[in-house]
A and B are shown apart, each in its own frame.
Chain A
């Protein structure tokens, strides 16, 4: 065992680095989903489509700017701008146009409405961007690689994945925590998350909070997609694959919990990377196994609060 560990410690160190970058992306998608659920009590199946559309928009905008001969660094501006545009447009359109009509309906209807949106957005995305893979790796190339020592060898990692992704995720986490705890709007959101009835009874305009949160959540999904676009390739079906993973993260985290989303994204990200080295056969099921294991011990998720009923 000790010998094995010695032999593989270096490799596991590498897995940790990869896991971190992956976890950062997973976190970005899941945290938006989790916030939306916390406030609206709706699991948004179309969240993965927003991720994909954010990615497509970022890649297109980046390529567009590059074609205009703008400097390379504008590629990063494109990432954020595209996310803001997607969130700012689709968020309110979906919330006002569709979701608002079904608040208070049965849970299954709310879930299915977002399933319908998912189906529509998947095809809409295909109509806009076609089916050929779309990618723009300028933001990835610009920062180059960093050589990480590995025994006598070195392993090049991209600076983007090593620093930018975890950095942005961390900044998002800290920023969100600050926003939710220190700003008035944030505290209103928290109040609605913890006790909607009490919050509305206190005169909080829930509709405004819902709109704000959904738009913000959509923006985070789009930002996740935008941040993924330099490393991944955008193809039809990306949204469907993304959303199931986010579900696992959110259920593991405990609903409405942002710190929980961070921890479970880390667990799942690193677990997956480690699996690639240790048990590649299990790589795909790692997120689900982690989720089932966590929920067996803590049925309300890592950070979820048990709701007690008064009788």
Chain B
């Protein structure tokens, strides 16, 4: 009974925030709701006796991906100004219909199949030690591959998001982090300041 109540609570939490993440107007709210939904999923993993996965989910999704999304939202803020711009795409009704169709297509077989209405076997745990051993023996190649993939993704992300030199001259850029911004240039020295137009005059025919 207790288990069922916790399941329904977490499931409703997750679903509500997932819907909020997809439907709120303000993008920052969407991102934060998504983080809450991810955290709810982590709780569901805990209920399913997979604490390691739950913590990993929390660490990666809430600690990293949500933050990334928030940063991306702030870095692309210029796009959403203007009160009357609609957030939904023009044919959103069709999209919603397809989404409902997909839900039906998945949920129908689940609900109609009797073999899925089963109760959990009493004990199934994923101890950290076992996971570590499996990662180092049976899954060592996938692990290495994931390492390479993450490195490649990191380098790729840096290269893609790198500001090209020609876009903005170096030193002039004001990032969100450095509040004092680009430093002003030194004041003109008396010699050059005294006759600012002489040089121009010489070059003119």
Q: Do A and B come from one complex?
A: no
